[in-house]
Structure 1
Amino acid sequence: MSEQNQNREVLDAAMMAGHILLENGAEIFRVEETMDRICRHYGIESCSSFVLSNGIFTTAGNKREEIFAKVQHIPVSGTHLDRVAAVNQLSREIVTGSLTPAEVMEKLEQIKQMPGKSKKMQILASGVGSACFCYLFGGNLKDAAAAFCSGVLLYGYVVFLAGPYLSKLVANIGGGALVTALCTLLYMLRVGEHLNYMIIGSIMPLIPGVAFTNAIRDIADGDYIAGSVRMLDALLVFFCIAMGVGLVFGLLHRFTGGVLL
């Protein structure tokens, strides 16, 4: 393989590694550091990458090298930390010198195709997480049981309806409204005793905690544009959830006169 072709393959591999990291919830500095580490290990000193929360701009080349420029748009999406961990491990293997650029590309394709958690596992995890958060915030065992049921039904809605068919804004408004309605119904049926703890625990699976934390880290690292975009996205989700909860509470107050609240 000629040097120019090998350099292009290295740059494509660095771009794909950055794409996988950014798409799956990695911080901006981690994406830039990984791409730079891959390029420098294979002898490309002229590579420069500019990473935003939803895009990567990469250029390379000087008088002795072929000019390379590439832009990729990466929509803001969910978090898959297993893929982030796999790319981090691959970058360590690259530094040890045990992989060729072709082998790196092959491993990145395998990481890209890594399956996520099954729908049943996600729904069960949502129920368990809702119950645990409810108990952690001060609810009793009955409240936790009600939150478990609500969390299971909530993520059934997320997986089978909101994800495939609804926009992000509508999905989160509907999720907040669904949780509030379900918890209120369970409270009226005496399944739980503290409506506030039941709702708080059940809503937690919708909260974009990783995205919010990464936004703060990006801003702290000086990546103000990327951090602000992620922060705005997280705050928009919070606002939509609150809107759904407030909508149901408003309807309940209208029809019950505030007896339940």
Structure 2
Amino acid sequence: MNLKNVVEIATTIGEMLLSSGAEIYRVEESMSRIAKSYGYEFESFVMPTGFSATAKNIKGEVITCVKRIKNRTVDLHRIEYLNDLSRRIESDKPGYEEVLKEIEKINNIPYFKYWLRILSSGLVALSFTLLFNGNIIDAIIAFIITCAIYITKNSISKLGFFQFLEYFISGFLAAMLSLILKNFIYSIHVDKVIIGSIMILVPGIAMTNAIKDALYGDIISSFARFGEALFIAAAVGAGVGFALTLGIGWVIG
């Protein structure tokens, strides 16, 4: 496989890994393994929002590629498949066309159905509400509110608004709906319902990846991910706080 094809494959897999929420070290290691398995020198510098990569052959020819990652999500299922593909490329050294077919197959793997994602989000809220000593009514209310939050958040994301607004509105919705329902169902505990409802918004994977990046020596990337996680947490907190400020005096009082 020639240098250009190898760079294309390595950077495409790297881009897919990074946009799926993979750790920085995993992205760098996967691209490096692919290039070196075909006998090319490879160096990369990866950040959460993009990367640059350079490959060199024995003749001294050099190709550099820079990619900007605009859309990022968390898709552990896709990361698993891409990780497995990079290891198979390293061990079996398949041809260019074969690898492209595998990449296309992974890229077209269907995501979980929309209704199933909504249901799963609700079950997460229900479980955490019970975990934080909420009663069954609190858990059911949190289930309903979280389903509404997921639908709203997904709709805002599709419209292309910035991330702060997406999480701010989600946090605001969780608190405001809890306060409104408190007027009709007096036995619910607003604090337990809010805690359960916002659990799907907590940036747990971002925090975990930030710590893992730091442990692997990627300090700049670690700070970037940690900052992003704090930004998300602040947006959710601001939304909840704003709703409580309005709601305590207006809805309850």
Can you give the 5+ residue segments of structure 2 that lack an aligned partner in the other structure? none
Aligned residue for 1:138, secondary structure, equals coil
Q: Is residue 47 of structure 1 aligned with residue 42 of structure 2?
A: yes
Letter matched to residue 118 of structure 2:
I
Percent of residue pairs bearing the same amino acid type: 33
CA distance in 2, matches of 1:161, 1:37: 38
Aligned residue for 2:92, secondary structure, equals coil
CA contact (8 A) 2:170 2:236 kept: yes
Can you give the 5+ residue segments of structure 1 that lack an aligned partner in the other structure? none
Q: Deviations 1:17-68 (Å, cap 9, x if unpaired)?
A: 1111111000011111111111111111x21111111111111226614211
1:9-88 mapped onto 2 (5 Å cutoff)? 9-44=5-40, 46-61=41-56, 64-75=59-70, 77-88=72-83
CA distance in 1, matches of 2:186, 2:54: 60
Which residue of 165, 177, 192 corresponds with 1:170? Answer: 165
Which residue of 194, 197, 201 corresponds with 2:196? Answer: 201
**Pairs aligned (count):** 253
1:220-231 mapped onto 2 (5 Å cutoff)? 220-231=215-226
Change (3 A) 1:250 1:15: same
CA distance in 2, matches of 1:88, 1:76: 20
Q: Deviations 1:141-200 (Å, cap 9, x if unpaired)?
A: 111111111111111111224442532111111111101011122222227522111100
* Counterpart position of 2:104: 109
CA contact (8 A) 1:23 1:74 kept: yes
Instruction: Please report the TM-score for the alignment, with normalisation by the length of structure 2.
Output: 0.93
CA contact (8 A) 1:146 1:192 kept: no
CA contact (8 A) 1:53 1:76 kept: no
Which consecutive aligned stretches of 4+ in structure 1 deviate over 4 angstroms post-superposition? none
CA distance in 2, matches of 1:147, 1:56: 40
Which residue of 242, 247, 251 corresponds with 2:246? Answer: 251
CA distance in 2, matches of 1:124, 1:94: 37
Alignment RMSD: 1.9
Instruction: Please report the TM-score for the alignment, with normalisation by the length of structure 1.
Output: 0.90
Deviation, structure 1 residue 81: 1.0
Q: Is residue 238 of structure 1 aligned with residue 228 of structure 2?
A: no
Deviation, structure 1 residue 98: 5.8
